[in-house]
Amino acid sequence: MHLAYPAVLAALLFCTGLYGVLARRNAILVLMSVELMLNAVNLNLVAFDVWLRDTLHAGQALTLFTIAIAAAEIGIGLAIVLMVYRNRGTSDIDRLRDTAEGHEPPPAAPDSSTAANQQSEVTA
Residues 6+ apart with CB under 8 A from 66: 38, 41, 42, 45
What is the amino acid identity at position 107?
P
Pick the CATH number of 4-98 from 3.40.50.300, 1.10.287.3510, 1.10.40.50, 1.10.10.10: 1.10.287.3510
pLDDT 10s digits, 58-103: 999 999 999 999 999 999 999 999 999 999 888 888 887 766 655 5
Q: What is the DSSP secondary structure assignment for residue 101, as one 8-state letter?
A: T
Report which of residues 62 and 115 the model is more confident about. 62
| pLDDT at residue 101, rounded to an integer | 57
Rounded Cα distance between 39 and 20, Å, is 14
Q: Where are the domains of the chain?
A: 4-98
